[in-house]
Structure 1
């Protein structure tokens, strides 16, 4: 028994006890107070053709020690809907039948919702099905079946089973049936190291890439996969040759029977799933595809409202759902540690808590994003970032689903179309914080030079507000290799971008990739002079920042320059003039460099933005106020 079960007032052990021929008399007459661990709505139209819908709830019940599958009849549904029945509700079962087919099932004819709680009991909860599969002689329903007793055994109308086989027709397993079709299936939620024999029926909700590793003890490779059923989701890992084996066997989205994997404590630093355990796929593990995909959800969400993200723990992983409000263009970010470029796109979603939040997409997800504004998007596995306010970024193991078939999606779509489209939303981005940080690290050009920024072993980073007064337009770009290198991950794009050299046959060659190309793609490497009231600097803008400055790719600007040189009408000079003698905010990286034996400091632009005159005025007012005080 867990402390939580006692606090919730659960009748601990009652689910197993009612099925036990030895314990049943002890539990008869006691209140059956249990928690609802999971709910699935079943909508079945009768054959009578009257068009009425018969809704039932398939549930997983939990008494703090054991779990049991249940079915809430359609007569109870109106009461449930009117009394806030949901996952984690604590209920009192007042009238029920116990039956067995593939599983032991409690058919609930009458219940009372005792109270609501956000606490979900987890841990070492055993499955009644698993227990009685190992102890069939204790199974009361098996005793009923053998003795062929009548339909009623007590005031609670416990009914005997008509069939305990998996087969839906005549009770005999079909010829050639797999080993899994003749054993009990366990819920993922109930898996723990204390179970010796178990089988899960689950969908591959996430399939990672094979990743290589090396350390002082050697090298190897691994592969991660997530399995999902109605109750929960669990992570599994395979190493070395088993990684190759299971990577080939498992396909994302398909359903499998899995057994004989090693159950071990989960490692939260490597997984965002809430399950306390994970699976290690070893040589004894048996996995077989299941073609009966009924009752296995496609994806499992545990949604967090957008207004709750403001107070959530930074760097925690959440699932969110919202309406797409804004889509920004793709841009590139270069990793400081490796120098590799990554594609990124920021989108904004909103929900009925009247909050808007930015979600960052990466690489393939960013480039291939074509969702229309106004669509509902569910995200699984977003990381909460705490820089200049709150935002989200989709993790490499995360996923998104457009217009999912969930109650939350239908509710949000109806709200947005009728009301939300006209709402003003609170943004969780704290622009004032970002602006304040920018002002705090701002230097004048003279300050940067007098403080010898960039002359130490490590680079220095600072901000300036300066005006561009001159461009070197002779060589503002270079022909680059556009070969996409194999980074060992489908999630990351890694273009070579080395300079290519034109060959005598008109092709362009990259020595690093040992490849020739019909055409290169051009990337900016732009040098310009900037000045403020205290001095002047030469700075370098690379492709991402220069493209943001001019608004067009380097290859297009090069064509305009060639047209101008050929005497044709061209907007080249106009584009240059439009940003000359214009002020910008620059984030600079200063580092020491040697050129022809002479030490100097090179200033690279990390980011560029327009001057926010409102923020500048506020900053001046703050400075003046502090001086006067």
Structure 2
């Protein structure tokens, strides 16, 4: 079969067939780690080394995304070629690929491993400042790691909860330094433990792609979020000069610890004891950890017998009851109220299923929209859950949970979600509880793709 080189693609034709490696794949959630997926972004490279940006829209994520893995080589057809975006471009190319409901994807077989592993366009450290705040291109850099900080928590204006971040200091061959700040999941994933031995002290050269240049309070720095990837000691020509200049040299990488109050806060949310639901369901309630625990579950169905919202007292935050044309708090007699979330659902982790409940801000992060916005779109608040509420089914999270007070009086337990530790997005299979031989039940079936 003959494939079209990426360099020849243009919008005037619709009958392209390409064979490409997926160099990078990431989710764009509108600037947050836990919002709904707006689209999935890809960097694709063909055998000649040319690259292009591609986008899977939210409407096609459930069908197409499971067919594509980062690093895989695929034959893709029936897509649209359009002009590249003007901002946040990982590739300096005039066109991009748009996946549609008609796009066909299947793995390529029996092909030589000559497709490039890395797709990059290096920017020298001295030129980085001119891109500060521009947000037109994602930037790629190559340097030596000289310092790595622990993760810390930082409250950002566009985030409802504090976000993980980690700082890394890079040096070029002229000893020019640049700070890279990783955010969210990227901050949690970054580690040099597997490639750095303190006793040997061998320098680590790192290629980091998909960064934006930022400026804050007079300081210019690189920012790495979901689009960011890194490769330690890459086998690329530009790295050879770094390897030659550091040959037989010893470099101590400075480790910067998080402030004590930050460490305690992280331990409270990220370092809780992991428990399976089966462990929690069979545990004596009086043995439940006082600080709560962490469990990773998939939301499998909603509990439709309870409303997904409630009127909350402005003064004491308790639930209000109907009074005349409005609501009134029976505790403090306040008539001021705001609608807030009260999500009840069944979650499953493959060992058991359990009832969980989430209120207010935690529930908002699960849904991804303010309750007032969802209420405006719902015909009747007590009617069938609106699409935004129904859409939480099949989402997977790591939750910090506590046992509700009623669970001490009732054999049927309910776990209140106190915080979201991690979000894993929509799952295409749900855990099936079978103790002897765990299996996966598909949420949706997808036919084998054909050209």
- Alignment deviations for residues 255-292 of structure 1 (CA, whole Å, 9 cap, x no partner): 01122211111223353321211112124323221131
Larger helix proportion of the pair: 1
Q: 2:86 is paired with a residue of what secondary structure?
A: coil
Match of 2:191 among 358, 370, 383: 370
2:226 is aligned with 1:396: yes
Preserved CA contact (<8 Å) 2:20 2:73: yes
Partners of 1:310 and 1:212 in 2: how far apart?
25
2:163 is aligned with 1:261: no
Cα-Cα RMSD:
4.0
2:31 is aligned with 1:201: no
Partners of 2:114 and 2:155 in 1: how far apart?
44
Q: 1:208 is paired with a residue of what secondary structure?
A: strand
Partners of 1:504 and 1:238 in 2: how far apart?
43
Question: 1:302 maps to which residue?
Answer: 121
Partners of 2:75 and 2:397 in 1: how far apart?
37
Following TM superposition, by how much is the alpha carbon of 1:195 offset from its aligned partner in structure 2, in angstroms? 3.6
Following TM superposition, by how much is the alpha carbon of 1:344 offset from its aligned partner in structure 2, in angstroms? 0.8
Partners of 2:366 and 2:229 in 1: how far apart?
20
Q: Which has the larger radius of gyration?
A: 1
- Alignment deviations for residues 533-571 of structure 1 (CA, whole Å, 9 cap, x no partner): xxxxxxxxxxxxxxxxxxxxxxxxxxxxxxxxxxxxxxx
Q: 1:339 is paired with a residue of what secondary structure?
A: coil
Following TM superposition, by how much is the alpha carbon of 1:336 offset from its aligned partner in structure 2, in angstroms? 2.8
Match of 1:236 among 48, 54, 60: 54
Question: 1:318 maps to which residue?
Answer: 139
Q: 1:209 is paired with a residue of what secondary structure?
A: strand
- Alignment deviations for residues 393-448 of structure 1 (CA, whole Å, 9 cap, x no partner): 113212111111111223212213467959xxxxxxxxxxxxxxxxxxxxxxxxxx
Q: 1:235 to 1:515 in 2, by over 3 A?
A: same
Preserved CA contact (<8 Å) 1:205 1:227: yes
Q: Which structure would you say has the larger RCO, counting Cα contacts within 8 Å and 6 or more residues apart?
A: 2
2:416 is aligned with 1:514: yes
Preserved CA contact (<8 Å) 1:211 1:488: no
2:178 is aligned with 1:328: no
Q: 1:329 to 1:261 in 2, by over 3 A?
A: same
Preserved CA contact (<8 Å) 2:84 2:95: yes
Pairwise mapping of residues 472-551 of structure 1 onto structure 2 (< 5 A)? 479=291, 514=416
Partners of 2:62 and 2:7 in 1: how far apart?
27
Q: 2:42 is paired with a residue of what secondary structure?
A: strand
2:167 is aligned with 1:346: yes
- Alignment deviations for residues 441-490 of structure 1 (CA, whole Å, 9 cap, x no partner): xxxxxxxxxxxxxxxxxxxxxxxxxxxxxxxxxxxxx957756778599x
Name the count of aligned residue pairs. Answer: 270
Match of 2:103 among 285, 309, 312: 285
Q: 2:157 is paired with a residue of what secondary structure?
A: coil
Following TM superposition, by how much is the alpha carbon of 1:349 offset from its aligned partner in structure 2, in angstroms? 0.9
Preserved CA contact (<8 Å) 1:327 1:348: yes
Partners of 1:208 and 1:301 in 2: how far apart?
16
Preserved CA contact (<8 Å) 1:210 1:488: no
Following TM superposition, by how much is the alpha carbon of 1:368 offset from its aligned partner in structure 2, in angstroms? 3.1
Following TM superposition, by how much is the alpha carbon of 1:315 offset from its aligned partner in structure 2, in angstroms? 3.6
Following TM superposition, by how much is the alpha carbon of 1:241 offset from its aligned partner in structure 2, in angstroms? 5.0
Q: Which runs of 5+ in 1 are unaligned?
A: 1-180, 214-218, 423-477, 522-629
- Alignment deviations for residues 275-334 of structure 1 (CA, whole Å, 9 cap, x no partner): 211112124323221131422111211011112213445344210011111111110112
